[in-house]
Structure 1
């Protein structure tokens, strides 16, 4: 048991240090004034019951410095005034805004359906997806277009974080979410992409059809971002990139309720068994075991099975490299104030991972007022 815990913790420390060094070696992207070829963009926003937030996103899109874009907002049978807000805004918007009301038919993955039907109507060369509760900066699309012009990437993953941290719960979510963004960015840089976020995703429209869209994963409620990324990565090795630019950061609001947080994290955790590539699944299992190690070590020490030195090594092998890595990601995401919360996050995160790793084995969760499997 002692050897197993030390080995797992040592491998996790090595893994985290590799991520940290990789992040430091990825140069920040700085675009010039002109965007090569100026690709046309279709921004797709699947929404359901976003009446309180959609106007903010529309106003942000109205402030974009890049002008070659259209917006399709696929409304998935909202029961509030979301659709009417979009329709009214479309009448005065200086950019092309196309509301797409979707029928309230039963489907395994409402979001994949919304994106697929929107892409069928899209005129842009690039598809950019975000969510109805997000905020974007004025140079968001310009930065994506410039990065595409310089790299020719088939899929671009952009940074995502939360808007403000008003409570300790918000700050904990910010730190935890930064680990996902940072890990996804670094594995892309290493040529083995594992995760991304659909709140800030860009890909060529033709590539979506080349990989047959969500075919093969359309029976899964989640994964409109990661499963598509994996399909594109297999078809176009080395053509999936992370956009390391503050101008490209998309911000969304942290969950205010434990129930909403639980359902989202369970939805995310439930994806790992469905990956066709062994790497994301292997990473999920490895992270689960690495976070279980300090819990087991502390338990073993309290019960007298492990000595204090071994327990301390297991804990420090996790905490120190993790702190270095998370700090860098938070600074990039302009969340330096959340750095002080890293130790608290590290304290609760092992229990969090164990809980959701086990919870994900059960089927079903509630999302946007619907029960999905």
Structure 2
């Protein structure tokens, strides 16, 4: 058993060294050639009860360094019961860009977010479709960054970075660091043309490829996965045309979870997708990460000997430097000192939600979903 633990952690150490090397190469080789901002863009924002956040995003979009005649914004109002709709309607007079609201009935859809995006696409006119969430904020160069990469690489799908809005709390910091590991590893996998994850809060794909792969067809009954299942379908058909955008201006900042209960439901929602993947490589990687963190928990029980301490040092060292690189890129260098705290907690988190993914159902935005 000790040999197996050491072997798994050794592979995990090498895995993180690879991530460090790939991240650096990706950043160094990222080049985008300046071109006309003439692509017609459609920004799709599915929302449900976002009265506290939606105005900030609408204002951010009003400050974009992109021709207002070349982008439209569609708010897919998914049965909101608060003041979201009125806020959007009132802002239409101030918006420099075309701002539309699509009201959807609060029905019993098994995948409300996919439905919201699909219905929005049906009334959109953009060549490049960009999705984000109602609780997000974006920089003035957000659309330009995505469009310039699209033009330079003739991309079919672009995944751009997402992080959490900074707040003065340890809970927020822990979430920023934990989420950075997902964004960073997903970016590296995409650079290696082995994409395994992305985030619908900052995703772009062409209308043409969406229709070509039949959109969300095949996973309509899975509530989550409007982003990753679509990415896998596009990557399977166009493996060389799926890109991560390592540009600071492309970062989307979203709200972290306010407490442990909301965090639990969010992560359960994300974990619910794992068993539906039909790509064995993605599933194998998920199992490997689970086993690596399970091995760390076993090593915690051996802290009284040098073997256990050595295993933990091996696991944490390369992992720390990878997280450092990603967090620095996201603009949170001051939070590096908190990485060891997250590293200690993280194995418990991975094992817990890895086992939880085998269950069914979660609550999200006032709905019970499967």
State the TM-score bracket (shorter-chain normalisation).
over 0.9
Counterpart-to-counterpart distance in 2, 1:195 and 1:370:
25
Q: 1:37 to 1:141 in 2, by over 3 A?
A: closer
1:133 aligns with 2:135: yes
Query: Is residue 3 of structure 1 aligned with residue 6 of structure 2?
Result: no
Partner of 1:321: 318
* Aligned 1:206-355 pairs, distance under 5 A: 206-299=208-301, 301=302, 308-355=305-352
Distance in structure 1 (CA, Å) of the matches to 2:286 and 2:160: 22
- Using the TM superposition, give the Cα deviation of residue 30 of structure 1 relative to its aligned residue in structure 2, in angstroms: 5.7
Report the alpha carbon displacement of residue 128 of structure 1 after superposing the two structures with TM. Answer: 0.2
Does 2:362 match 1:360?
no
- Is the CA contact (8 Å cut-off) linking 1:30 and 1:245 kept in structure 2? no
Partner SS state of residue 239, structure 2 = coil
Whether the aligned pair in 1 keeps the contact of 2:165 and 2:255 (CA below 8 Å) is yes
Q: Is the 8 A contact 1:6 1:313 kept in 2?
A: no
**In the TM superposition, what is the alpha-carbon distance from 1:102 to its structure 2 partner?**
0.4
Over residues 245-271 of structure 1, what are the superposed CA-to-partner deviations in whole Å (9 max), with x where a residue is unaligned?
A: 001010011111111100001111111
Q: CA deviation at 1:337?
A: 1.4
Q: Which residue of 1 aligns with 2:17?
A: 17
Q: Corresponding residue for 1:370?
A: 367
Q: What is the TM-score of this pair, normalised by structure 1?
A: 0.96
State the 1:37 CA deviation: 6.3
Distance across 2 between alignment mates of 1:27 and 1:261: 31
CA contact (8 A) 1:161 1:174 kept: yes
CA distance in 1, matches of 2:196, 2:335: 25
Structure 1 stretch 252-261 or stretch 126-135: which is displaced more?
252-261
Distance in 2, matches of 1:12 and 1:150, equals 35
User: Which residue number corresponds to residue 184 of structure 1?
Assistant: 186
Give TM-score, length-normalised by structure 2: 0.97
Contact 1:35 1:142 in 2 (8 A): no
Q: CA deviation at 1:310?
A: 2.0
Q: Given that residues 109 and 220 in structure 1 are in contact (C-alpha distance below 8 angstroms), is that contact kept between their aligned partners in structure 2?
A: yes
Aligned counterparts of 2:269 and 2:284: Cα–Cα separation in 1: 18
Structure 1's unaligned 5+ residue stretches are: none
Q: Distance in 2 between matches of 1:279 and 1:226?
A: 14
Q: CA deviation at 1:207?
A: 0.4
Contact 1:293 1:314 in 2 (8 A): no
Query: Deviation string for 1:100-149 (max 9, x for gaps)?
Result: 00011211110000000101111000000000000000000011111111
Aligned to 1:100, the other structure's residue is in SS state strand
Match of 1:156 among 155, 158, 172: 158
Offset from partner CA, 1:144-197 (integer Å, 9 cap, x none): 111111111110000111111311110000000000000110001111001011
Equivalent position of 1:175 in the other structure: 177
Shift of 1:213: 0.4
Q: How many residues align?
A: 367
Q: State the 1:206 CA deviation.
A: 0.8
2:37/2:147 contact within 8 Å kept: no
Q: How far 1:359 moved relative to its partner?
A: 1.8
Contact 2:57 2:136 (C-alpha < 8 Å) held by counterparts:
yes
Are the aligned partners of 1:255 and 1:261 in contact in 2 as well (CA < 8 Å)? yes
Mapped contact 1:172–1:341 kept (Cα < 8 A): yes
Which deviations, in whole Å up to 9, do the C-alpha atoms of 1:77-103 show, x marking residues without a partner? 100000111111123311000100001
